[in-house]
């Protein structure tokens, strides 16, 4: 059962010292718990209430009586140290698992992230890693205490029965213990399936909440509050149903084992009567049997916890075992600052098998070219641009910069030479300065401000009460669309990369913001190789080369005049936008 977790045991290595002390404390707990109380019944109580009661002095009575608090003090302190040390190790294990999970997400291909829901990935990184921590620490905790308790309790039974005439056969009564395995196995099989369902549904609930918060304006604008509440209620209701099924099986185990234990003790009682066992021996054996059944019950709970951990592990391994396709080559080419000559050689790419988005695309884009990519939606423009920074890798053919295949470069070297300004720029919930600094982490404050000036962002930044120390909010929620776009441009100015990708940087902006951004773009593109993913044709006036895409192929290339005169698709798209604009 625990072999499933073997590959993850290295998470215990950094906390092995803590775990060793925890295990030692657990052994002491098991000894005091399993043997302390039964032996007290056999040896301590008879000294007070037996034949020698009249000879007991006050000090001896006090000394004997202190055996009880001594046993429970040792038991309590050992149990506390075991639990505390296990929890201490557990939070460090949780941190390591979550960090590895987060790191893996950073290097997985975008195609994988696009196949998953954000809420489910969040749930795997929070709820499932938390379950893994709970499983590992529970196994490390009770996995030592309870077997130790069981062994010392059984040892007490064997010791006492071996000294009681005729009672040695009572050891046979312990045969009832293996019967406890049957409910443990039954519940375990049921629980692993239900636990996986519960954790999957938790991902759906998290995703529903994430989507709702991300679409707050749309929900209010279209009056969807009640609809969203009903949808969320349906998700939580499904979660509750699965949680109750998990609880049904998990909580049924303890009473099932207790009932079996009660029958076992009843058999002991009947045998003791006919065997003429003395009362003190009988009470000792019953106490020891009770102490042995309790750890069996807790070991059953450990089994349930392991099953829940297996379900969490199954979900985490979807991420952990996903292959990383964008990796540095074994022997990377030496790359400094590139000139920016782009070449696509017979490139074919598909997100899904047999559904190519790009078909045998070949084109050379000389350094310093401002190249616009136009065409109908879904024609392959964005995919074409995304192959340059290796967000995806071509299925066949190749993309090269200055004659070097991008797959032969270190990812850090490649992407250091590329700046990206997207249609919906991402800003982190941090200061303006720190968001701009993402363009180049080693930039000085003066360089950051100079980049903001060039992007026409300095003026509105300094108008904020905290200036460059202003918190922009989640995804830049406290800024207007034009302000976010200008900050994205400032990052590109700061990066000063020789290759620039613009994913329609002026769409959905007011005329004043668009004019400022267009002015900034004219300065930004100077001396760079630029790919402009054009959704609005007004942004391609400065393009020296236009590539027309249709159904994954480049069907025409040239400047505006040449294409308008000689390509029907380009002319149709251009005239349609001009008509809509008027």
Model confidence pLDDT, tens digit, residues 228-267? 888 888 888 888 888 788 777 767 766 776 677 677 767 7
Contact at 8 Å (CB) between 383 and 394?
no
Length in residues, the chain: 582
Lowest-confidence segment of 43-47, 132-136, 217-221, 564-568 by average pLDDT: 43-47
- In the block, which residue shows the tokens 């009470």? 283
Lowest-confidence segment of 131-135, 264-268, 492-496 by average pLDDT: 264-268
On the question of pLDDT at 400 being above 70, the answer is: yes
Lowest-confidence segment of 264-268, 560-564, 569-573 by average pLDDT: 264-268
- Residues of the chain within CATH 1.20.1560.10 domain(s) are 2-320
Q: What pLDDT score does 461 carry?
A: 92
- Residues of the chain within CATH 3.40.50.300 domain(s) are 329-417+535-582
Q: Encode pLDDT of 74-85 as tens digits.
A: 878 887 887 788
On the question of pLDDT at 532 being above 70, the answer is: yes
In three state form, how does the secondary structure of 178-210 look?
A: HHHHHHHHHHHHHHHHHHHHHHHHHHHHHHHHH
Element (H, E) at 555: strand 553-558
Structure confidence at residue 353 as a pLDDT band (50, 70, 90): confident
Instruction: Go through 312-335 and write b for each residue having 16 or more CB atoms within 10 A of its CB, e for each that does not.
Output: bbbbbeebeebeeebeeeeebbeb
Q: What pLDDT score does 2 carry?
A: 56
Could you tell me which residues come within 8 angstroms of residue 552 by beta carbon, excluding any fewer than 6 positions away? 356, 357, 358, 359, 361, 379, 380
Q: What pLDDT score does 550 carry?
A: 92
Q: Encode pLDDT of 417-437 as tens digits.
A: 999 888 778 888 889 999 999
Q: Which residues in 238-365 belong to E strands, given as ranges?
A: 342-352, 355-365
Taking the C-alpha atoms of residue 456 and residue 520, their distance in angstroms, rounded to an integer, is: 7
Taking the C-alpha atoms of residue 539 and residue 560, their distance in angstroms, rounded to an integer, is: 12
Which residues on adjacent β-strands are paired with residue 343?
364, 400
On the question of pLDDT at 138 being above 90, the answer is: no
More confident residue, 378 or 150: 378
CATH code of 2-320, in short, is: 1.20.1560.10
Q: Encode pLDDT of 292-333 as tens digits.
A: 666 776 777 777 777 778 888 888 888 888 888 888 889 999
Q: Encode pLDDT of 151-174 as tens digits.
A: 777 776 666 666 665 444 455 555
Rg (CA), the chain: 35
Q: Domain 329-417+535-582: state its class.
A: alpha beta
Closest by CA to 99, choosing from 224, 11, 182, is 11
Instruction: Go through 153-186 and write b for each residue having 16 or more CB atoms within 10 A of its CB, e for each that does not.
Output: bbbbbbbbbeebeebeebeebbebbeebeebbee
């Amino acid at each position: 059962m625990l072999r499933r977790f073997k590959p993850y045991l290295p998470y215990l290595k950094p906390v092995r010292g803590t775990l060793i002390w925890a295990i030692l404390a657990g052994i002491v707990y098991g000894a005091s718990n399993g043997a302390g109380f039964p032996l007290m019944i056999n040896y301590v109580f008879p000294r007070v209430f037996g034949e020698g009661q009249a000879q007991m002095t006050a000090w001896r009575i006090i000394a004997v009586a202190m055996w009880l608090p001594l046993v429970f003090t040792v038991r309590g302190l050992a149990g506390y140290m075991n639990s505390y040390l296990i929890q201490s190790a557990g939070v460090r294990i949780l941190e390591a698992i979550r960090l590895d999970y987060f790191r893996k997400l950073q290097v997985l291909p975008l195609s994988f992230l696009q196949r998953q829901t954000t809420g489910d990935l969040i749930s795997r990184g929070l709820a499932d890693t938390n379950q893994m921590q709970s499983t590992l620490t529970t196994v490390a905790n009770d996995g030592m205490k309870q077997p130790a308790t069981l062994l010392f309790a059984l040892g007490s039974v064997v010791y006492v029965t071996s000294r009681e005439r005729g009672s040695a056969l009572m050891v046979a009564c312990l045969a009832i213990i293996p019967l406890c395995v049957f409910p443990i196995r039954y519940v375990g099989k049921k629980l692993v399936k239900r636990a996986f369902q519960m954790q999957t549904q938790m991902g759906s609930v998290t995703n529903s909440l994430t989507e709702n918060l991300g679409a707050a304006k749309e929900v209010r604008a279209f009056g969807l509050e009640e609809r969203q509440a009903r949808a969320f209620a349906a998700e939580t209701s499904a979660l509750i149903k699965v949680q109750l099924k998990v609880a049904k099986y998990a909580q049924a185990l303890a009473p099932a084992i207790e009932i079996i234990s009660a029958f076992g003790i009843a058999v002991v009682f009947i045998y003791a009567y006919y065997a003429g066992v003395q009362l003190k021996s009988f009470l000792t054996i019953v106490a020891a049997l009770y102490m042995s059944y309790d750890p069996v019950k807790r070991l059953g709970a450990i089994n349930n916890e392991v099953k829940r951990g297996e379900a969490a592990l199954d979900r985490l391994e979807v991420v952990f075992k996903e292959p990383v396709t964008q990796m540095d080559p074994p022997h990377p080419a030496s790359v400094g600052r590139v000139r920016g000559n782009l070449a696509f050689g017979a490139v074919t790419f598909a997100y899904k098998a047999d559904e190519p988005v790009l078909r045998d695309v070949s084109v050379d884009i000389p350094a310093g070219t401002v190249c616009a990519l136009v065409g109908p939606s879904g024609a392959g423009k964005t995919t074409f641009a995304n192959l340059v920074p290796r967000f995806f890798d071509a299925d066949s053919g190749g993309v090269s910069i200055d004659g070097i295949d991008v797959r032969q470069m270190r990812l850090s070297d490649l992407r250091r030479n590329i700046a990206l300004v997207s249609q919906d720029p991402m800003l982190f919930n941090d200061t303006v300065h720190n968001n701009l600094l993402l363009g180049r982490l080693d930039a000085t404050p003066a360089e950051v401000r100079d980049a903001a000036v060039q992007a026409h962002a300095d003026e509105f930044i300094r108008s904020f009460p905290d200036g460059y120390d202003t918190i922009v909010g989640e995804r830049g929620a406290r800024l207007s669309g034009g302000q976010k776009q200008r900050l994205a441009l400032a990052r590109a100015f700061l990066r000063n990369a020789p290759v620039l990708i613009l994913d329609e940087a002026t769409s959905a902006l007011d005329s004043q913001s668009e004019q400022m951004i267009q002015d900034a773009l004219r300065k930004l593109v100077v001396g760079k190789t630029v790919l402009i993913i054009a959704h609005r044709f007004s942004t391609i006036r400065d393009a020296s080369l236009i590539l027309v895409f249709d159904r994954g192929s480049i069907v025409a290339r040239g400047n505006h005049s040449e294409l308008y005169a000689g390509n029907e698709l380009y002319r149709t798209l251009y005239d349609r936008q001009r008509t809509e604009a008027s």
